[in-house]
Amino acid sequence: MFTLCGMIGPWQLVILGLILLLPLFALIDIVRNEFTNTNKLIWILIVLFFPFLGPILYFIFGLKQKTRK
């Protein structure tokens, strides 16, 4: 199998990339859209304080809370 420096393989890099990029994508989506009441602030705090579970919860439940333009 291919490994990087004998420590990290390609699947580990993919998983690490997703773990690092998922909170970033969630924060960008939250900032760019409007939400009802204070939901925007709540979602930002959830994603920042729970960087692994927060974005997953946002993409499951938070997308439904956006307001339509």
12-57 confidence digits (pLDDT tens): 888 888 888 999 999 999 999 998 888 999 999 999 999 889 999 9
**32 found inside a domain:** yes
**7 found inside a domain:** no
Compute the distance between CA of residue 66 and CA of residue 47 in angstroms, rounded to an integer.
16
- Whole-prediction pTM value? 0.75
**50 found inside a domain:** yes
- CA end-to-end distance (rounded Å), the chain: 50
Whole-number pLDDT of residue 8: 73
**60 found inside a domain:** yes
